[in-house]
Amino acid sequence: MRTLPALLLALLLPACTGSGDADGDGGADNDGGASGSATSSDVSSASGTSVASTSASSTGSTGSAGGLGPEYCPAPDPAFPEGFDIGDRLAGVTVKDCAGNDVGLDAFCGADALWIFAAHGWCPLCQNVSGKQEAILADYAGQGLVAINVVVENGQSQPPDASYCETWRDSHGLVEVYTLYDPTGDILALWPGGSSSLSAFVDRDRLIVSKLSYSANTETAIREQIEAALAP
């Protein structure tokens, strides 16, 4: 009878080992969960709603170098002073993304062309262009065009906030277009004169090549200026 406990112990040991293997399978399941989490993050980054990581790989939202950011900005050149006039190298302006984070326009260095659209919430033309911006951008997918939509006033002609930015983005179906807001109106230095429905087009060297405003800011004209900015 003294040998029975030893025999039972010997029989139970393999079962314990098998239980340990099951735990290992559980660990593999946890790895799968981590993979799922990464996929969710990829979907979020592709939405274009956050510019905290502008190297997101969303189609149409990254430049020819495969990423965006200050590290892709051209070196200063005395021949091309920074400013806001046609022919100037685009000067620095800080706006905000829809989460309220500061975003400098240098975050979009690396694009082969940059289309900046400034929108007033009360402006029917601004609403019209914003509603078409996503489709226009999609037509240039793979060509290095980046489009941003910067809300400069809400529907009551007041400075916008993060909540209004989100509403503007969602109501116009902006996904690959980066939606931003500028509560200070600093970006309006690109268009002196006090108009609305404002576009500016910047080439791969960050030179301002053209601008459009108000009734001239038609879809046909926008496409012509995008193609001019993308031209070698």
The string of pLDDT tens digits covering residues 98-120 is: 999 999 999 999 999 999 999 99
> Which residues are registered as beta bridge partners of 96?
102, 181
The answer on 220 and 106 residing in a single domain is yes
Q: Band of the pLDDT at 194, cuts 50, 70, 90?
A: confident
Does one domain contain both 116 and 158? yes
pLDDT band of residue 64 (cuts 50, 70, 90) is low
Q: Alpha-carbon distance 192 to 210, whole Å?
A: 14
Is 209:229 a contact under the CB 8 Å cutoff?
yes
Please tell me whether residues 42 and 88 are part of one structural domain.
Answer: no
- Contacts of 173 by beta carbon, 8 Å cutoff, 6+ apart: 131, 134
Compare 192 and 46 and report the one with higher pLDDT: 192
Q: Which of 41-50, 96-105, 133-142 is the least confident region?
A: 41-50
80 and 29 within one domain: no
User: Within this chain, do residues 32 and 139 fall inside the same structural domain, yes or no?
Assistant: no
Which domain does 150 fall in, by range?
Answer: 70-230
Residues 121 and 7 in one domain: no
Quote the number of domains for the chain: 2
Same domain, 150 and 219: yes
Residue 63 covered by a domain = no
pTM: 0.75
- Domain assignment present for residue 51? The answer is no
> What integer pLDDT is reported at residue 55 of this predicted model?
37
